[in-house]
Amino acid sequence: MSTLHVSPIPCLKDNYAYLVETDGACAVVDPSEAGPVIEALGDRQPHALWLTHHHWDHVGGIEALCERYPALEVWGSAVDAQRGRIPKQTRALGHGDQLKWGGTTVDILHTPGHTAGALVYVADGHAFTGDTLFSGGCGRLFEGTPEQMFESLLAILTLPPATCLWFGHEYTIANLRFALAYGGPHPETTQRLHHVEALRQANLPTTPSTVATELATNIFVRTALTEARRPEAIAHFTAARNAKDTA
């Protein structure tokens, strides 16, 4: 049973930071701005910031939070540490790293594609996927190849099916509408679209998704995974990504 408690913190226009709590430890994922994070923290003292990648709309709140909480650790990728592009970074992480944190273990996946240093943090049945995987979508390929992104998505989607996936942006409705326009009728996608439209109408986030939901409804992997051969699967993925980029 999961001992982790996760609360999404809406930031900027459509970003999510996350408050992650377990056994006396508290972390914040991707604080794009400090104000909403400080409000969500209340009396709690965060111990660490977990950065999935260096983009401004994920790291923008770091400096103000470090000023307010001077003992904060700032976790991020070794790639981003080398390039000095995450402010105040104190830990440089890579694929397979395991960190003890508040009575649990955090596993690090390196998931290049959106950026060269993209990380996914996995703990107690929860994964923080940043801009690598969105519900119904995936990030743009700013610093990686389609092959890299495809492998990164598979690394996430081979986690246990019930794993909660907490993603970086509220793009779910647009992604599912694209999936139906691009991939044609698909009952599970339509059902998921109706569900998330109801959530958004009630002003609720569509995060988290699960591995099982994404395998069933994410167009970028759904069509690819019907191919037994890796080159064809990657070609399917690439075609979907190109279509979404120009949609």
Q: Is 195 one of the annotated active-site residues of the chain?
A: no
**Is there a catalytic annotation at residue 54?**
no
Q: Is residue 55 annotated as part of the catalytic site, yes or no?
A: yes
Is 245 a residue of the active site?
no
* Local structure of residue 224 (DSSP, 8 states): G
Whose Cβ is closer to Zn ion: residue 138's or residue 159's?
138
**Residue 131 lies near Zn ion (rule: CB under 5 A):** yes
What is the contact mask toward Zn ion in residues 76 to 105, using x (rule: CB under 5 A)?
A: ------------------------------
Structure-token pair, residue 29: 């994922």
Q: Closest separation between CB of residue 121 and Zn ion, Å?
A: 15
* φ/ψ of residue 96, rounded to 5: 90, -10
212 three-state secondary structure: helix
Catalytic-labelled residue, pool 54, 110, 169, 186: 169
| Known active-site residue 124 | no
Between residues 10 and 183, which has the closer beta carbon with respect to Zn ion? 10
Nearest to 133 by CA among 163, 88, 95, 107: 163
| CA separation for the pair 72, 191 (Å, rounded) | 42
Comparing CA positions, the residue from 160, 177, 95, 158 lying closest to residue 150 is 158
For strand 48-50 and strand 73-77, is the pairing parallel, antiparallel, or unpaired? parallel
Footprint of Zn ion on 44-63 (CB under 5 A): 55
Q: Give catalytic status of residue 47 as yes or no.
A: no
**Site size for Zn ion, by CB under 5 A?**
2
Considering the complex, what minimum distance in angstroms separates the CB of residue 45 from Zn ion? 28
Provide the minimum distance between the beta carbon of 55 and Zn ion in the complex, in angstroms, as a whole number. Answer: 4
Which residues of the shown chain bind Zn ion in the complex (CB under 5 A)? 55, 131
Q: Give catalytic residues, as residue numbers.
A: 53, 55, 57-58, 114, 131, 169
